[in-house]
Amino acid sequence: MSFHMKQELKQIHDRDCLLLALTTLNFNYGVHPEPIAVRGWQQEILSTRCEIVLAREKTGLRADIGFHQEEDGTFTVVSDSFANGDMPSFMTDLKRTYEEEQALVRSNQLGYQLESRGDWVEVDGKRYLRMVVTQ
């Protein structure tokens, strides 16, 4: 039996940064002007249709992972958590990389160029991305 997962990603609302994050994580994705069906385990079709889809044939997973943009602009991830057992790790990596891409876009807007992409560091219980940028 499959477990259909639909998780709202309140902090992910910028489509371009989401696509950059998926690219950075080396995922091949399809972008669809009209939302398409997301496939779960075997022949199951999940109820929420998505505009951005990581097809299982390209990820090597046992179900697609889709992203649906809600009316408020935030994205919801849609998948089959039974078929894709490592979804918590995927979500952690996606959120972290999305935040990195947002920081890089902002630094570019301020006229800075990325020299090196660093690690996440924790200071006083808060996580920060360490990057080296130049003007």
Residues 6+ apart with CB under 8 A from 40: 2, 4, 46, 63, 64, 79, 80, 83
pTM greater than 0.75 (yes/no): yes
Structure confidence at residue 118 (pLDDT): 72
Structure confidence at residue 121 (pLDDT): 81
Residue type, 10: K
**Is the pLDDT reported for residue 128 higher than 90?**
no
Q: Closest Cα to residue 107, out of 123, 122, 129? A: 129
**pLDDT of 23-65, one tens digit each?**
999 999 999 999 999 999 888 999 999 999 999 999 999 999 9
SS3 18: helix
Give, in order, the Cα–Cα distances in Å from 98 to each of 4, 43, 56. Answer: 23, 31, 21
Please state the domain extents for the chain.
4-97
Q: Give, as one character, the DSSP assignment of residue 40.
A: -
